[in-house]
Amino acid sequence: MPKIQGGCRCGAVRYELALDALPSTYACHCLDCQTWSGSAFSQQTFLPEAALSVSGPVVVYEFTTPSGRTSTQRICGVCHARIYNSNSARPNVAVVAVVCFVIGAGMGLLAVPTIIAAQSSVDWNERGVVTGSNMFARSLGSAVGVAIFGAVANAIFGPGDVHSVGPTAIKNGSAAVFTGVLVVAVVTALAVAIMPRTPPTRADGTTADEFESDGVASVGEG
């Protein structure tokens, strides 16, 4: 297995990542990372600690965050550059991925069927109006939904910021928002289910399906 190597500024501490490829990184803009890096953000990545091996004069520094978690920082004992850190309450990545899938299934997978069902319930000359109305309703619903769910979350969080409200309030606020999103997704699915499923009738008495069939046959014969 290829190894990815790196080190601190002075080179006294070296590390190796036992990974096939460099993992994805992200920019953390929290106050702690801004303080550590002396800039607007700190570029980091998540990886299993077992895949990381460090050699050299490493100094361990621990502190308790306002939420009660223990953050363990590993820094070079010579140049004091931060090598890596761990947290006592690091969330499970698999759980986060599952939660994101639920949100995608509830909102993303219903968006396209909703507009297709709305278009199929009217005649061809009305589909532009239905499509525009659907897109406008989605934009309006997004704005109203953000305001409503944001107000619900803030009411549960109470005064303070992300560092002082505590993990319990954040969990309860997020749970309330997730429940609201689930209700909206179920209502949307029911609305799609009760929409007319018969093809609309055109002015000459033919259905949209018959019109498409005739069009395809005429092209083939030509």
- Say if CB 153 and CB 175 are below 8 A apart: no
Q: Does residue 110 have a pLDDT over 70?
A: no
Q: What integer is the mean pLDDT of 163-192?
A: 80
- pLDDT value, residue 218: 35
Q: How confident is the model at residue 135 (pLDDT cuts 50, 70, 90)?
A: confident
Sheet arrangement for strand 4-7:
4-7, 14-17, 52-55
Q: Which amino acid, one-letter code, is at 114?
A: T
The residue-averaged pLDDT of 70-94 equals 77
Query: Any idea which of 20-24, 125-129, 163-167, 204-208 has the lowest mean pLDDT?
Result: 204-208
Locate the DSSP E strands across the chain. 4-7, 14-17, 26-28, 42-44, 52-55, 58-64, 70-76, 82-87
Q: How many CB atoms lie within 10 A of CB 110?
A: 19
Calculate what percentage of the chain has a pLDDT beyond 90. 5
Query: Is the model's pLDDT at 221 over the cut of 70?
Result: no
Look at residue 220 in the predicted model and tell me its pLDDT: 37
Rounded CA-CA distance 101/86 in Å is 26
Instruction: Specify the higher pLDDT residue, 161 or 97.
Output: 161
